[in-house]
Structure 1
Amino acid sequence: MKVGLVTDIFGYMRFEEMLDTCVELGIEALELGCGNWSKAPHVDLDGLLQSSAKREKFLDSIRSRGLEIAALNCSGNQLEPTEEGETHKRVVEKTFQLAGLLEVETVVMMSGCPSGGPNDVTPNWITHPILPQHFKTLEWQWNEVALPYWEKTVKVAKEHGVKKVAIENLGFNLVYNPETFFKLRNEVGEMIGMNFDPSHLFWMGGDPIAAARALGNAIYHIHAKDVRIERGVNNVHGLIDVKPMESFAARSWNYVALGHGHDVGWWKEFFTVVKMVGYEGSVVLEIEDLTMDPLTGVKKSLNVLKEALPREFETKA
């Protein structure tokens, strides 16, 4: 398992500076944002697609430093029934195309969240269906929007040479846990696996270690990210929290640097179980801790990750 990083956290750095910083920190693999929700700070998607010379220079900058690309990321909501949704679909296909040209096997993305019906334009994540129309909406979202899109999308990914599409288990998506993931996979095939991010199951009240056992070899990629359930807030209000992430002092839970929600002992067990079920890919840090600066968040998370992963690391003299 190589140590990776979602490089958007260093979006304030130039490409070459980001690469040098990753080498200095001991990062071995990169996950690069290509657009949609990512500002793609280190990837000129159209430029790389149009120029083989740019692609060669891009890859040489990475490989000459001993780094590799673990995945490209085009996370967004391509099922949104607006022009933005259409734009996200185009970025997804361009990312597939670039992955093929760069010989990157894995693309990370979201399942998407449709609107509440054919005449609605607002995405609707239904998590507490109690009335008949709620269940009708869920059926429409899956059968009329999501499944037709994904049946086409896995074919497009294959055509461009992508080997694995790793769907993240993020809230406000139709796929957000193992059950919903397998609902999609059983329909469209094993081209899709999960980009398993344990942090999301934490705030939903799940157990990521149990989920990893259930997912088994369907885990195609891993984001190492932690969540802290905030004592004194969660106890009163529960885990459903609609306050913005910037209001971290008042939230029931927060994304935090690795080890700041669950100690290294928990992470040791998690990564051991992940290895036991057959995962050998990169473990990619994603840092969204707003209580510390980006570089500090990466360094603190790396300390936990390197201690927790079931492998040896070279010690610098």
Structure 2
Amino acid sequence: MKLGMLTACLPQLTLTEIAAWASQAGYEALEVAAWPSTGGRDFEAAHLPVADFGSRAADETRALLAHHGLEISALAYYENNLHPDSERRAAIHLHLKKVVEVASALGVPYVGTFVGRDWTRPVADNLREAEKVFPELVEYAGERGVRIIIENCVMEGWHPDGYPGNLAYSPELWEWMFSLGLYLNWDPSHLTWIGIDPVTTIAPYADRIVHAQAKDLQIQSGKVDRYGFFGKAVQRDDPWDTGWWRYRVPGRGQVDWNAVVDALYENGFTGTLSVEHEDPVWSGTEEKVKTGLEIAHRTLRPLIAA
């Protein structure tokens, strides 16, 4: 198992700058953000020029990683592959394929994304639609030696009413998406707030958990008694603010990292545990984000065998 970090939390820095810092901080791998440089979501980062990635860029990227003793564990483009707007969906699929091509050129085994959801249609319709959409994407990746991995994030902020916007949040849905040739980028934080014990989900799906993200979650005492499970309804200016829980860096929330790492080892996980930093306490400035990543490293490094 290697300890890595997702670069999306430092969108203002270049990959060169992130690699230098991450290596010095003791990280071994980078999960590299590869959104379009034009942006779209407010936290997007474009750390590889996937739209125009030639052999020179590939050589420079490999040299950069070798210089700092790092590897790329996965490329990250977490978008809504079932977007209700047909033009937007087509653009997402086109960029996803470009990310796959860059992963193949660099020898990176995984590209991470979301299943997503068309929030104008029932869940059952979305499942049938995904069964039409994903086989072609999976085949495109497979022909290039790449696997598509899906993060089990609920993405409740994508749905206008705060309901799940990514149909990959539960073991029931994992079993369905595995049948489409997809793999799992397993993240315990999302399981925690929807009432699923993360540790219990590792053994049954160990053969499909090929990459993992390390993000913690803090449930704020008493708040769910006011807002209920689905969160704020009357005053919810920020669609991501449920009012009763928030993401934290590992070691500052409720995830039992000793149990998580132990279960991953016991069930044969040999991939990368990649810190995904979305902690509002350690955000706002580059210095605070880096401090958050250092806290995560201090929490997880002693648990991972040398």
- Residue 61 (structure 1) aligned to one of 61, 64, 83: 64
Q: 1:24 to 1:244 in 2, by over 3 A?
A: farther
Mapped to 2, the partners of 1:241 and 1:157 lie a distance apart of 37
1:284 aligned onto 2:274: yes
- Aligned partner of 2:246 in structure 1 is 254
Gaps of 5+ in 1: 118-136, 313-317
1:108 aligned onto 2:112: yes
- Residue 174 (structure 2) aligned to one of 142, 165, 181: 181
1:201 aligned onto 2:194: no
Mapped to 2, the partners of 1:26 and 1:92 lie a distance apart of 30
Amino acid at match of 2:32: L
- Aligned partner of 2:24 in structure 1 is 24
Q: 1:244 to 1:45 in 2, by over 3 A?
A: farther
Q: 1:7 to 1:77 in 2, by over 3 A?
A: same
Amino acid at match of 1:65: H
Contact 1:193 1:219 in 2 (8 A): yes
Query: What's the CA shift for 1:155?
Result: 0.8
Amino acid at match of 1:148: K
Higher Rg of the two aligned structures: 1
- Aligned partner of 2:293 in structure 1 is 298
Mapped to 2, the partners of 1:90 and 1:72 lie a distance apart of 15
Query: What's the CA shift for 1:247?
Result: 8.5
- Residue 146 (structure 1) aligned to one of 125, 130, 149: 130
Deviations 1:190-221 (A, max 9, x none): xx211001000011111000111221211011
Mapped to 2, the partners of 1:107 and 1:14 lie a distance apart of 20
Contact 2:219 2:254 in 1 (8 A): no
Q: Where does 1:52-91 land on structure 2 (aligned, <5 Å)?
A: 52-82=55-85, 83-91=87-95
Q: CA RMSD in A?
A: 1.9
- Aligned partner of 1:315 in structure 2 is none
**TM-score in terms of structure 1 length:** 0.84
Gaps of 5+ in 2: 155-164, 283-287
Amino acid at match of 1:80: H
Deviations 1:12-39 (A, max 9, x none): 2232221110011001000111116563
1:158 aligned onto 2:142: yes
Contact 2:51 2:95 in 1 (8 A): no
1:97 aligned onto 2:81: no
Mapped to 1, the partners of 2:215 and 2:172 lie a distance apart of 21
How many residues are treated as equivalent by the alignment? 282
Query: What's the CA shift for 1:9?
Result: 1.3
Deviations 1:80-130 (A, max 9, x none): 13122221111111111111111111111111212434xxxxxxxxxxxxx
**TM-score in terms of structure 2 length:** 0.87
Mapped to 2, the partners of 1:244 and 1:179 lie a distance apart of 31
